[in-house]
Structure formats: C-alpha cells, structure tokens
Amino acid sequence: MSDGLHDPKTWYGTTIVSIRKGGKVVVAGDGQVSVGPTVMKHNAKKVRLLGKGTVIGGFAGATADAFTLFERLEAKLEQYPDQLMRASVELAKDWRTDRYLRHLEAMMIVADRNTTLVLTGHGDVLEPENGIAGIGSGGNFALSAARALADMDLSAEQIARKAMKIAAEICIYTNDKVTLESMEAA
C-alpha cells in the first residue's frame, strides 16, 4: 500500500519479537487481529513450533498468507532437515519467483538453536544483529525495547515479555495477549 495507511479490508495487528540470550532463543507474538478500526480477535496464535519442534516461527501480515508460508517452510524443512538457513533461502527463492507466492503479504521470524532469520516477500533472508529481531505493526517498538533491555540482568523470556508489553502500550494494532515459544540455543 503506497500511501502507508492500513487497508480497512485487510487483517492487521501483529508484533513479533525474537531474542537470543543466555543459552535460549525466544519468539513472542501478540494476539490481536484487526480489520480496519475493529479488533476481530484478541488471542490469535501467531507464534508456533515448526519442523518437528526444531524451529520457532512467528508471522506478521495477512493470516492466510502467513499460514501458506508456514506450510511451505515446513516442506522445505522436511527437504533440508536441520538446515534452517538453506530451507529459508529456498523458501525465499520460491516466494520471490512463484506467481502465486509473490503476492503473499507477510513477514516471518524463524529461529532454531543456532540461527534467527527474518524472511520477507522481497526475497530477503536476514540474520539480525545481536540476536534480536522485530516485525509487524509494533515490531520496531518491541525491537527498540528489546535492544534497550538486552544488557540488563534479564532472561530472554523476560526481555521478550517486557518488549511486547511496551509495544502493546504504543501500537494500536498490538495487544498484551502474548504467545511465547522458546528453546535452548547452541
């Protein structure tokens, strides 16, 4: 959308943040889904385990599009087990070149024991600096908060929860109904 405004017919409202600290990787997401000015759902689960529980994924964007991408990523993870980077690059190639996929409007954060990645429909597979990433309507708020909290004596989960709380206080498309998944990092 070139004007930068939310299309009232499209479902919005997501903040996803990922933190890697203290031998853990955490991905957290809020539960709000909005259509224009209306909150349609408070407890959507936008963070889930993928790849037989070896990858955590969180999505921002159109819900149906994100589920399509999760399914495609799961297929790539089956094809390239324990190779999140390779599976993500292959998904990004498909996403960018496939006529159907290239119209999907979503972003993803995916993380395994070793790597955190941000995936976009522009073909981007980005590994964030310092193991902290944020996407979605409140993603920059959560990312900023997480970066500010990273040097404190807090666990990855505590940082994620505090960052999500701050994002929910600022972004009208984010709420405080947080889903969080974590795993041991390498």
140-180: pLDDT as tens digits: 999 999 999 999 999 999 999 999 999 999 999 999 999 99
pLDDT of residue 113 exceeding 90:
yes
Do the domain assignments include residue 4? no
Q: Is 38 a catalytic residue?
A: no
Do the domain assignments include residue 181? no
Q: What single-letter amino acid sits at 53?
A: G
Do the domain assignments include residue 185? no
DSSP the chain: -TTSSPPTTSEE--EEEEEEETTEEEEEE---EEETTEEEES----EEEEGGGTEEEEEEE-HHHHHHHHHHHHHHHHHSTT-HHHHHHHHHHHHHHSTTGGG--EEEEEE-SS-EEEEETTS-EE--GGGEEEEETTHHHHHHHHHHHTTSS--HHHHHHHHHHHHHHH-TT--S--EEEEEE--
- Tell me, what's the pLDDT at 35? 81
Please tell me the distance from the alpha carbon of residue 116 to that of residue 11, in angstroms, as a whole number. 26
Do the domain assignments include residue 179? no
Section 112-118 average pLDDT: 97
CB atoms within 10 A of CB 151: 8
Section 52-69 average pLDDT: 87
Do the domain assignments include residue 71? yes
Do the domain assignments include residue 169? yes
- Tell me, what's the pLDDT at 1? 37
Q: What single-letter amino acid sits at 11?
A: W
Give the chain's domain count. Answer: 1
Do the domain assignments include residue 186? no
Do the domain assignments include residue 3? no
- Tell me, what's the pLDDT at 73? 93
Determine which one of 10, 14, 174, 179 is catalytic: 14
Domain interval for residue 59: 11-174
Q: What single-letter amino acid sits at 29?
A: G
- Nearest Cα neighbor of 180 from 120, 109, 84, 118 is 109
Q: For residue 184, what pLDDT band results from cuts at 50, 70 and 90?
A: very high
Whole-structure pTM over 0.85, yes or no? yes
Length of the chain: 186
| Angle, in degrees to the nearest 10, between helices 63-79 and 84-97 | 130
Please tell me the distance from the alpha carbon of residue 92 to that of residue 34, in angstroms, as a whole number. 27
Say which CATH number the domain at 81 has. Answer: 3.60.20.10
Section 127-131 average pLDDT: 93
- Tell me, what's the pLDDT at 2? 37
Residue 42, C-beta contacts closer than 8 angstroms, at least 6 positions apart: 31, 32, 175, 177
Q: For residue 6, what pLDDT band results from cuts at 50, 70 and 90?
A: very low
